[in-house]
Amino acid sequence: MKQWTNFSKGFFKENPVFILLLGLCPALGVTSSAINGLGMGLATTFVLVMANMVVSLIKGFIPEKVRIPSFIVVIATFVTIVEMTMQAYAPALFEALGLFIPLIVVNCLVLGRAEAFASKNNLVSSVVDGAGMGLGFAMALTMLGGVRELFGSGQLFGFVLFPEEYGMLVFVLAPGAFIGLGYLIAVLNRLTKA
């Protein structure tokens, strides 16, 4: 039961984007479409799960003075794997996400979970926590990207739902990320407080 609680808190109680407001740089920067949000979310989820796993396994061998730099090296290793894999097998998504893929290394969500959770818990709990927080992050980015894509260009995952001339250009541009995020947080707060 405790494992399920660790997993589900990333979706609801401690969602990184909507509740904790962590990892907002990629949330606002790459979510011009639902597919970009999903791609970035899944890339971050992979890094988060793998980094939590490794940190949990090596936590007893890392001296206190070099704990954070060690975690960053572990995270950077998995970010490099994601970056090279995406460049080889999903070049269009790689181009769309651009600089935000290497920035996963310094994403406060990933480093924070490694420091606050994985370095203090066992392997299974750390992997479950990473999966829950990562998938919650992916869900939030996909939702934000979907809202921006729908209202900005009349599409959802590339499927045309209404003509583009009825779209609101502001949602495609940078301010649309802030507006979309604000409204999503407001709606989710209203639903959870009701």
Nearest C-alpha neighbor of 174 from the set 31, 21, 22:
31
pTM above 0.85? Answer: yes
The answer to whether the beta carbons of residues 28 and 151 sit under 8 Å apart is no
Residue indicated by tokens 């407080």: 193
Predicted pLDDT of residue 12: 78
Predicted pLDDT of residue 4: 63
The answer to whether the beta carbons of residues 122 and 60 sit under 8 Å apart is no
Predicted pLDDT of residue 9: 78
Residues of the chain scoring pLDDT < 70: 1-6, 194
Predicted pLDDT of residue 168: 86
pLDDT in tens, 67-87: 999 999 999 999 999 999 999
Predicted pLDDT of residue 35: 94
DSSP string, 20-31: S--SHHHHHHST
Predicted pLDDT of residue 166: 81
Spatial neighbors of 157 by CB under 8 A, at least 6 apart, are 33, 34, 35, 146, 149
Predicted pLDDT of residue 25: 85
Predicted pLDDT of residue 169: 85
